[in-house]
Amino acid sequence: MRSLRTGATSAAVRIQVSRNGRPALESRVGAKALSENFALIPELPLDQVLVGDCVAAMNALPAGSVDLVFADPPYNLQLGGDLRRPDDSLVDAVDDDWDKFSSFADYDAFTRDWLSACRRVLKPDGALWVIGSYHNIFRVGAILQDLGFWMLNDIVWRKANPMPNFRGRRFTNAHETLIWAARGENSKYTFHYEALKGGNDDLQMRSDWYLPLCTGEERLRDGAGAKVHPTQKPEALLARVMLSASNPGDVILDPFFGTGTTGAVAKALGRHFIGCEREQVYADAARARIAGITPLPPEAFATAPSKRSEPRVPFLSLVEAGLVKAGETVFDAKRRHSATIRADGTLLLGPAVGSIHKIGALAQGLPACNGWTFWHVERKGELLLLDVLRTGIRAEMAAA
Ligand SMILES: C[S@@+](CC[C@H](N)C(=O)[O-])C[C@H]1O[C@@H](n2cnc3c(N)ncnc32)[C@H](O)[C@@H]1O
């Protein structure tokens, strides 16, 4: 019997895999088998690393229990022999056993197994991210769709500092692809559109992300200066994934934990993680790394409420609350356009009467306009945006 150890923290469970491949669970305290029915696991092994095969580990977890999966699976790189630089030095390429499969069919079967296990543990509104390269991502994508996941985006991670193509026989391989998929077509997945836009100079965040490889202080090295893991991912990549597609307190599962980049970023950003990793040496490195992470203060990662989730405030409410007055003039930021506020919450511009949006569009000769962010009133000689007054009303509504 091979054992999958959990970390020595809260949920005192020990998961074992029997010779017939079926997982069994026992209490570490009582060392007595509780049940082979894994729906009975009393609590999720939060913030722990499960050492062993990820499919067995995930099958031991309760169904519908995690919010997000981030998976960085073996890429099945199919390297043919040593890779050398022009100066004949050996490239530190990924040639580990965990990345070797006997055939594409073998890789597909493995992919189907772990994706099915992920789908089972995801909540109905959960989602999954998987990163890969041209070697595997198309196979993974097809299997995802076959299993019922619903594609949301493919993200291109464009590497700021890619490894050159030493043989000069192909283009430099300068990107990796991340697939973002909801558990199913009707899943109400999490996406913080406005937070991402706010951090991107108020432009919609695009699907091509330009980020450096994991280097410098972030890269884990052993005493001799060698990389602890050949494919450690940059924390900035994981941070963007988590900030866009999860909430503080969410449970994020990583079936191929490696040196625990997912866990390190989850802890920093106030999320929970569950990691699965078959190699003890990587699991140990991950635990040590995560222990050294100090979470950011909550205000540094709390998700601002999106505009869509805020209560609707009609412009008439501002008139009724006395924040603007009937007969008062509204202006655009450069005072090129103006209109008059009417007692019923509409605006008057020449002969035209309509909403703040309609009259804003009419003034500019545009098909549409957001009147809240176009019109201002004058207070103490300064222009004050209607949206600022609306924020005040919303705060009152929230307090009430
Ligand atoms: C591409 S690496 C992940 C690296 C990780 N994202 C990081 O930043 O350190 C894939 C990892 O999956 C592990 N692995 C491969 N097959 C596995 C399996 N069946 N169950 C659990 N872990 C597995 C490997 O040992 C390897 O560490």
**Residue 295 in this model has a pLDDT that exceeds 50:** yes
Mean pLDDT of the 360-376 span: 96
* 16 bridge partner residues: 3, 24
Tell me what pLDDT residue 34 has: 28
Mean pLDDT of the 272-301 span: 96
Spacing, Cα 337 to ligand 1 middle (Å): 60
Mean pLDDT of the 252-268 span: 98
Tell me what pLDDT residue 310 has: 76
Using the atom order of ligand 1, give the atom closest to the CA of residue 99. Answer: 15
- Res. 175 pLDDT band, cuts 50 70 90: very high
Average pLDDT, the chain: 86
- Res. 72 pLDDT band, cuts 50 70 90: very high
Mutate to test the pocket of ligand 1, among 4, 95, 257, 262 (most ligand atoms within 8 A of CB): 257
Q: What sign results for the dihedral spanned by CA atoms 309, 312, 387, 336?
A: positive
Assess whether the C-beta atom of 372 lies below 6 angstroms from ligand 1: no
Beta strands in 7-149 (DSSP E): 13-17, 23-27, 33-35, 48-51, 66-71, 122-132
Assess whether the C-beta atom of 279 lies below 6 angstroms from ligand 1: yes
Name the residue with tokens 């091979």. Answer: 2
Residue closest by Cα to atom 18 of ligand 1: 53
Assess whether the C-beta atom of 277 lies below 6 angstroms from ligand 1: yes
Q: What sign results for the dihedral spanned by CA atoms 182, 188, 194, 195?
A: negative
What would the pLDDT profile of 196-243 be if each residue is shown by its tens digit?
888 888 889 999 999 999 989 999 999 999 999 999 999 999 999 999
Radius of gyration of the chain (CA): 27
**Residue 74 in this model has a pLDDT that exceeds 70:** yes
- Res. 348 pLDDT band, cuts 50 70 90: very high
Nearest in space to 67 (alpha carbons), one of 151, 191, 157: 191
Tell me what pLDDT residue 91 has: 66
Mean pLDDT of the 3-29 span: 33
Exposed e or buried b per residue across 278-300, where buried means at least 16 C-beta atoms within 10 angstroms of its C-beta: bbeebbbbbbebbeebeeeeeee
Alpha-carbon dihedral angle through residues 237, 6, 253, 215, given to the nearest 10 degrees = 10
Mutate to test the pocket of ligand 1, among 15, 133, 157, 278 (most ligand atoms within 8 A of CB): 278
**H or E stretch including 282?**
helix 280-291
Spacing, Cα 364 to ligand 1 middle (Å): 56
Residues 6+ apart with CB under 8 A from 375: 330, 331, 332, 339, 347, 356, 360, 385, 386
Tell me what pLDDT residue 7 has: 32
Q: What percent of the chain has pLDDT over 90?
A: 70
**Which has the minimum average pLDDT: 34-38, 97-101, 315-319?**
34-38
Assess whether the C-beta atom of 67 lies below 6 angstroms from ligand 1: no
Spacing, Cα 6 to ligand 1 middle (Å): 16
Assess whether the C-beta atom of 59 lies below 6 angstroms from ligand 1: no
Tell me what pLDDT residue 29 has: 27
List C-alpha distances in Å: 178 to 136, 153, 188, 275.
11, 8, 20, 19
